[in-house]
Chains A and B, each alone.
Chain A
Amino acid sequence: MSNLNPISPSSDNSNGFSRFIKKFYWRDYVVYITFVVIFLIFSGSLFKMGFLSPNNLLNILRQTATISVMAVAMTFVLAAAEIDLSVGAVAGLASVTTAIIIGQFGILAGILAGLLTGVLIGLLNGFLITKVGIPSFLVTLGMQGVATGTAMWITKTAPIPIANETYTFIFGSGNVGIIPTLFIWTILALLIGHACLKSTPFGRQVLATGGNETAARYSGINTKKIKYITFVIMSVVSSISGMLYAGRLHSGRFQWGQGDELSVIAAVVLGGTSLFGGKGSVIGTIIGAILIGLINNGLILMGLEASQQMIVRGAIIILAVALTGRKTQS
């Protein structure tokens, strides 16, 4: 109606604004808005508990690093319309292999052993999914058991201590100035992941594969190869995350990373990546991961019991994902 009325600038303005609101892709920004809102709420209500102290904030970053790093790789997996449920278990197994080999052959061999663990599991996952044709959900669910079981078996479920201080400094316990090395790992994952998804042929091909696999194939993309590579990267990054656990906790143990797959996937979906593929944002993912850490931290400061924390955390994640998911359906 106001189109017919040229003399009303105010209605034109509100028109423009409502158009802006309509055009604004909520799902892409839900994570940032939620982040700011929750941060402000916690800043106010938990101020006396020291929520805003630099120490607490650095702590949040330290604790979320392992999730953040895996979530960056998971962004690629979900963007390619696949899923990997074995990430937490792979992290646990890699922490164990690294710890054992460091004890016997030193730091370099230990790091290589950890990476090799990831490469092998990634190759196996990729092979079963793309060559044999088993859905990734099932393959990686099975691999979760295989990896955890192997880690328990070779350690007889005991933790393997790591005495090498260079290792623990680089992988998780050290600080460069006031900056924790874990935060540096997060930034590294963010930069490499973002550039890779946004600006390399590989990233574009992952998105195309997830958006419409047939059309991608008709465009000459070897979609199986793209997925294969994605799964190998995912497992290698999970093993790096496992090594970060080992560094932070000065030991390798099968339990490190257990159950992380859920937080990782939640972080990625919160960050605006579609569970159905074709869309992904590494920056959103990192914010999503830190948001989950923020919630955990706030709940602990509030003095909630572990059981109560789980309930609140679950509810917040469902709410945020429901908000992000709305746009996908329409």
Chain B
Amino acid sequence: MTPAIIEMKRITKEFNHIRVLDHINFELLQGEIHALLGENGAGKSTLMKILRGIYQPEEGEILINGKAVTINSPSDSRLNGISMVFQEFSLIPSLTVAQNIFLTRESRSKLGLINDRIDEKKASILLHEMGVDLDPSLPVEQLSTGYRQLTEIVAALSQDAQILILDEPTASLTHTETMTLFGLLRKLKERGISIIYISHRMEEIFQIADRITVLRDGKNIITEQVQNLSIQQVIEHILGHKDVREIKKSTYLVDPTATPLLEVNHLNCNQEVCDVSFKLFAGEVLGLAGLMGSGRTELVQTIFGITPAQSGDIKVKGKKVRINDAKSGMKAKIAFIPEDRRLQGLSTMHSIKENFELPLINLRKLEKHKIFVDDHKIVALANGFVEKLQIKCDSIDKEIRLLSGGNQQKVVIAKWLSTEPDILIMDEPTAGVDIGTKTEILEMARNLANEGKGVVIISSELQELLSISDRIVIIKNGSIVDEMLRTEVKSEDKLHQIIQGAQASV
């Protein structure tokens, strides 16, 4: 039997007396690819941060090669041969592949100057051994995401990494790039390098992993050989038995003969949105389901005009509209709550009022005498929304950065509801907000639909998507692959499988 390279025993970690890891055992064998699975918040990243020396556990021990170690800092972790390949890449774009691989460890000439040619030769040998076809003298900025990632892995290996942690490595890779990556991972495995592979993509895990460990609510639910499990079983382990709960069935049924509120026909954009057509009816909440990187965000951004469509058309209430920027999207009575509120939704250095007023000012709806902004009107409106949405703040002059995540999200929502849209598009509206606010946001979306508006909602949390949507369309690789009424979805499980592509239909 192959020896274990890492053994984590009875690891327990608490934050503010809340136990996020509860006596977790985790074992990584030499030359093994071990997939670590679990929902967001299950404890995966905390466990990895302990391994990388960012957090120290309250209880438990870590053995590396059979010897007990304490990992108090990221450099301790590196000395133990552990290396993490980041989702946001840590390469310097203007330097070459070789310069990046040997950064701070450059070869010197006799005069003590850096000699790029020696490093390029060394890098080229290394790349060749790994079976990566890449010119080491190319600047990293000229590489695709996939090759950047390969460069990063090679850089880690050149520092004698024995254990690699990969977090969602394929999230922004194309299919061919993924295959190249898998080729490299298999080579590494043969050389006895161990890999912890974190991903949500079942198909890939079943292709590449040897064993699977599932975490849920800070506990190790199962560790098992891949061949002894099916995708369905893994999903059940990830979700627990929540899916047993009855899903509230919607009584609302769309009339397919009515004029749709929004009709999208053969929309294309940058190969990220491929020939998408769908309809949204008044009074309906339409859920968009798909994995990260499936093109769901790109689709809604195209509809709103952030990245205008290259071909295809959009009709609002039966009338064709041209949407070539966000303002034309707004004029078509569409509102868009973006995925990343701190980057796209709000200017955090400005106050609630200063953020709230922007769409209305932009639509020229708030002018006195055609020149000046009517601040009395804005203050009254903003205060009205603060009360209606129960935004917790001392006043509307409070800076956004001082608000909680949930309240920030409510400001984004208020800002867009103020434009009185007919169509509200929400991209992950409940990400990073507390449970209470989550419910409020979902209820609000439902109420808007009941008032005769249309809501399009994207969410990675399927339970949430199922509880709010009347109809669900499934997106994969930029195209709609399936569509169903909520009443046709038997369980969260089934939906999960469809999104993963394990089954063609219910």
Question: Given that A195-B372, A199-B372 are contacting pairs, would A219 and B350 also be in contact in the complex, using a CB cutoff of 8 Å?
Answer: no
Q: Within the complex, which residue of B327, B349, B371 is in contact with A279, where a contact is CB–CB below 8 Å?
A: B349
| Interface assignment of A104: CB less than 8 Å from any CB of chain B | no
Binds A, one of B170-178, B282-290, B360-368, B462-470: B360-368
Query: Known: A199-B373, A200-B371, A279-B349. Is A217-B326 also a contact (CB below 8 A)?
Result: yes
Measured CB to CB, the closest approach of chain A to B298, in angstroms, equals: 14
A interface, CB within 8 angstroms of B: 195, 199-201, 204-205, 207-208, 211-212, 214-222, 278-279
Report whether B345 and A215 are in contact in the complex, using a CB–CB cutoff of 8 Å.
Answer: yes
Docked Cα-Cα span, A219 to B416, in Å, equals 9
Tell whether, in the assembled complex, residue B350 and residue A220 are in contact, meaning their CB atoms are under 8 Å apart. Answer: no
Report yes or no: B327 in contact with A218, Cβ–Cβ below 8 A: no
Smallest CB separation, A80 vs chain B (Å): 13
- How distant is the Cα of A64 from the Cα of B390 in the complex, in angstroms? 50
Minimum CB–CB distance for A280 against chain B, Å: 12
User: Is the CB–CB distance between A218 and B344 below 8 Å?
Assistant: yes
B218 contacts A by Cβ under 8 Å: no
B-side contacts of A214, CB under 8 Å: 343-344
Are B372 and A200 closer than 8 Å at their CB atoms? yes
Which residue of B359, B371, B372, B373 contacts A219 across the interface (Cβ within 8 Å)? B359
Chain B neighbourhood of A199, CB < 8 A: 372-373, 375
Which of B326, B344, B373 has a CB less than 8 Å from the CB of A204? B373
User: Shortest distance in angstroms between B100's beta carbon and chain A's nearest beta carbon?
Assistant: 25
B375 (CB) vs chain A CBs: closest residue: A199
Which residue of chain A is the closest to B325 with respect to CB atoms?
Answer: A222
Bound Cα distance A220, B324 (Å): 11
Distance A279 CA – B346 CA, assembled complex (angstroms): 15
Q: Which residues of B contact A279 (CB under 8 A)?
A: 349
A218 touches B306 (CB 8 A): yes
Task: Check: B185 CB closer than 8 A to any chain A CB.
Answer: no
Residue contacts A-B, CB under 8 angstroms, 15 given: A195-B372, A200-B371, A201-B362, A204-B357, A211-B349, A212-B347, A212-B348, A215-B346, A219-B359, A220-B358, A220-B363, A221-B327, A221-B358, A222-B325, A222-B327
Chain B residues in 8 Å Cβ range of A278: 347, 349-350
Q: Does B453 contact A (CB under 8 A)?
A: no
With a CB–CB cut-off of 8 A, which chain B residues contact A215? 343-347, 355
Q: Is the CB–CB distance between B375 and A219 below 8 Å?
A: no
Contact (Cβ within 8 A) B372 A208:
no
**Knowing A201-B367, A205-B361, A207-B350 touch, does A218 contact B375 (C-beta < 8 A)?**
no
Residues from chain A with Cβ under 8 Å of B346 in the complex? 212, 215
Q: Is there contact, CB below 8 Å, between A204 and B349? A: no
Minimum Cβ distance to chain A for residue B413 (Å) = 13
Residue of A nearest to B338 (CB): A218
Measured between beta carbons, the chain A residues less than 8 angstroms from B345 are: 215, 218
- Is B354 part of the contact surface with A, judged by Cβ < 8 Å? yes
What is the CB-to-nearest-CB distance from B64 to chain A, in angstroms, rounded to a whole number?
40
Contacting residues, chain B, for A221 (C-beta < 8 A): 326-327, 358, 362
Across the two chains, which residue of chain B brings its CB closest to A276? B349
Give the interface centre of A199, A200, A204 by most chain B CB atoms within 10 Å: A204
Measured CA separation A195–B375 after assembly (Å): 13
Report the Cα distance A212→B372, complex, angstroms: 23
User: For the complex, what is the distance from the CA of A84 to the CA of B158, rounded to whole Å?
Assistant: 46
- A199-B373, A200-B371 as given contacts; A216 in contact with B359, CB under 8 Å: no
Nearest first, the 6 closest Cβ-Cβ pairs linking A and B are: A211-B347, A212-B347, A219-B358, A220-B327, A220-B326, A199-B372
Contacts of A207 in B (CB 8 A): 350, 354
**Closest residue of A by beta carbon distance from B378:** A204
Is B329 among interface residues, defined by CB-CB distance under 8 A? yes
B325 and A208: CB pair below 8 A? no
Known: A218-B306, A218-B344, A220-B358; 18 extra A-B contacts, CB below 8 A, are A195-B372, A199-B372, A201-B361, A201-B366, A204-B357, A204-B361, A205-B358, A205-B361, A208-B354, A214-B344, A215-B343, A217-B326, A218-B338, A219-B326, A219-B362, A220-B329, A278-B347, A278-B349
Q: With the chains together, A208 CA to B356 CA distance in Å? A: 11
Q: Does B415 reach chain A (CB closer than 8 Å)?
A: yes
B330 at the binding interface (Cβ < 8 Å): yes
Q: Return chain A residues, CB-CB under 8 Å to B197.
A: none
The reply to whether the CB of B336 lies closer than 8 angstroms to some CB of chain A is yes
Q: Are A220 and B344 in contact (CB under 8 A)?
A: no
Identify which of B338, B350, B355, B373 contacts A201 (C-beta below 8 A).
B373
How far apart are the CA atoms of A76 and B354 in the complex, in Å?
17
Chain B residues positioned under 8 Å from A218 (CB to CB): 306, 326, 336, 338, 344-345
What residues on B are CB-neighbors of A222 within 8 Å?
Answer: 325, 327
For residue A20, give the distance in angstroms from its CB to the closest CB of chain B. 16
- Bound complex: CA of A312 vs CA of B470, how far in Å? 71
Of all chain A residues, which has the CB nearest B350?
A211
Q: Do residues B371 and A204 form an inter-chain contact, with CB atoms below 8 A?
A: no
Residue of A nearest to B341 (CB): A215
Assembly CA distance A201 to B375 (angstroms): 11
B329 to chain A, nearest CB (A): 7
Q: How far is the CB of A105 from chain B (nearest CB, A)?
A: 34
Return B330 CB to nearest CB of chain A, in Å. Answer: 5
When the two chains form their complex, are residues A219 and B415 in contact, meaning their CB atoms are under 8 A apart? Answer: yes
Interface centre among A199, A215, A222, A279 (most CB of B within 10 A): A215
Considering the complex, give the chain A residue whose CB is closest to the CB of B335.
Answer: A220
In Å, the complex CA distance between A279 and B351 comes to 12
User: Which chain B residues lie closer than 8 Å to A200 at the CB level?
Assistant: 371-373
State A208–B325 Cα separation when bound (angstroms): 17
Contacts of B325 in A (CB 8 A): 220, 222
Are A208 and B375 CB-contacts (below 8 A) given A215-B343, A218-B336, A222-B325? no
- Contact flags B22-39 to A (C-beta < 8 A → 1, else 0): 000000000000000000
**Chain B nearest CB, measured from A326 CB (Å):** 15
Give Cα distance in the complex from A199 to B373, angstroms. Answer: 5
- Complex CA distance for A72 and B128, rounded to whole angstroms: 60
User: Which residues of chain A come closer than 8 Å to B364, judged between CB atoms?
Assistant: 201
In the bound assembly, the distance between CA atoms of A221 and B338 in angstroms comes to 15
Residue of B with least CB distance to A203: B373
**How close is B275's CB to chain A, nearest CB, in angstroms?**
26
B343 to chain A, nearest CB (A): 6
Complex Cα–Cα for A218 and B375 (A)? 22
Q: Are A204 and B358 in contact (CB under 8 A)?
A: yes
B residues 296-350 in Cβ contact with A at 8 Å? 306, 325-327, 329-330, 336, 338, 343-350
Bound-complex Cα distance A211 to B401 (A): 12
Q: Which residues in A have their C-beta under 8 angstroms from that of B415?
A: 219
Give the residues in chain B near A195, CB-CB below 8 Å. Answer: 372
CA distance A219 to B327 in the complex (A): 8
CB distance from B416 to the nearest CB of A (A): 9
Q: Is B306 in contact with A217, judged by CB distance below 8 angstroms?
A: yes
A279 to B373 alpha-carbon distance, docked (Å): 18
B-chain residues with CB within 8 Å of residue A212 when the two chains form the complex: 343, 346-349
Q: Is the CB of B347 within 8 A of A208?
A: yes
C-alpha gap A208/B350 in the complex (Å): 8
| Residues of B with C-beta under 8 A to A219 | 326, 358-359, 362, 415
Of all chain B residues, the one with the shortest Cβ separation from A208 is: B358
Specify the chain A residue showing the minimal Cβ separation from B358: A219
Shortest CB–CB separation between residue A310 and chain B, in angstroms? 35
